[in-house]
């Protein structure tokens, strides 16, 4: 059975406005999305890659990214949906039912390491579901009506990253249940949690940033072009 990476790049990036979507912004000699694909192309555990992009970006992604950089593992480019949940479901449905693991990753997280991809995949193989996450270092407050009502124990709080990796049969079952119950989620592991699948934590790195703001893009550009 094969392991698939589903790399999502269907978002509009409203916090990083511009004529070009953030996943296609140039960093050095190639677009941001290509830097991300590189990691999965080089990762021994990944057998095939499916890209999920906006319907209007299908041809552009094929020509300007996949063909241009001659990626051998990219099997399919599929159109996403209106929400992240919908887009991930489109990606999952593009994967054959015989798949073993699916690695779901943000197309705008180009600084994930191959070692991190391998580590979270190994845990998912053993526990059915695993995600990269980093420890929370700030003190967190829960508020209502502008007043603090609780201080959270930061030792028990982690910040989720991607890739999030799942046995295919587990994640597709959870998504189908979520669809039938008409519930929406912004995080893949939350779908699993909601339907009784335990999710293993693998400690990642703060370097694995998601490019969301102009400052993130500047940092990614500096870090990637230094490598």
Could you tell me the residue range of the domain that residue 30 belongs to?
4-226
pLDDT given at position 20:
77
Question: Domains in the chain: how many in total?
Answer: 1
Q: How far apart are CA 111 and CA 93, in angstroms?
A: 27
- The pLDDT of residue 16: 62
Q: Give the pLDDT confidence score for residue 216 in this predicted structure.
A: 93
CA-CA distance, 137 to 125, in Å (whole number)?
29
pLDDT confidence of residue 166: 98
Beta 129-135 vs 200-203: how paired, if at all?
parallel
What confidence score (pLDDT) does residue 174 get? Answer: 96
Q: What is the pLDDT of residue 45?
A: 97
Cα of first residue to Cα of last residue in the chain, in angstroms, is 34
Q: What is the pLDDT of residue 1?
A: 87
Low-confidence ranges of the chain (pLDDT < 50): none
Instruction: Please write the tens of the pLDDT for every residue from 193-206.
Output: 999 999 999 999 99
Q: What is the pLDDT of residue 23?
A: 93
**So what's the pLDDT on residue 153?**
93
* pLDDT attached to residue 182: 86
Residues 127, 130: Cα–Cα separation, whole Å: 7
Closest CA to 57 of 24, 90, 104, 16: 24
Per-residue pLDDT at 227: 57
CATH number of the domain encompassing residue 58: 3.90.550.10
pLDDT (0 to 100) of residue 226: 76
């Amino acid at each position: 059975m094969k392991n698939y990476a589903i790399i999502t790049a269907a978002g509009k990036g409203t916090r990083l406005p511009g004529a070009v979507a953030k996943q296609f912004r140039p960093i050095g000699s190639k677009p941001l999305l290509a830097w991300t694909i590189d990691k999965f192309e080089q990762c021994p555990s990944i057998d095939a890659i499916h890209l999920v992009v906006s319907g209007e970006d299908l041809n552009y992604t094929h020509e300007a990214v996949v063909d241009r950089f001659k990626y051998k593992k990219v099997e399919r480019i599929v159109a996403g949906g209106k929400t992240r949940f919908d887009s991930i479901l489109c990606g999952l449905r593009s994967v054959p039912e015989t798949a073993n693991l699916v690695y779901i990753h943000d197309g705008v997280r180009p600084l994930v390491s191959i070692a991190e991809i391998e580590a979270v995949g190994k845990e998912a193989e053993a526990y059915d579901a695993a995600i990269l996450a980093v420890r929370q270092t700030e003190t967190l407050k829960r508020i209502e009506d502008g007043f603090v009502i609780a201080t959270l124990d930061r030792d028990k709080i982690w910040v989720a990253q991607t890739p999030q990796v799942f046995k295919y049969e587990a994640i597709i079952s959870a998504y189908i249940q979520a669809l039938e119950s008409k519930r929406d989620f912004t995080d893949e592991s939350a779908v699993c949690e909601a339907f009784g699948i335990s999710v293993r934590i693998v400690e990642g790195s703060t370097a694995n940033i998601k490019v969301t703001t102009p400052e993130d893009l500047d940092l990614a550009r500096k870090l990637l072009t230094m490598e």
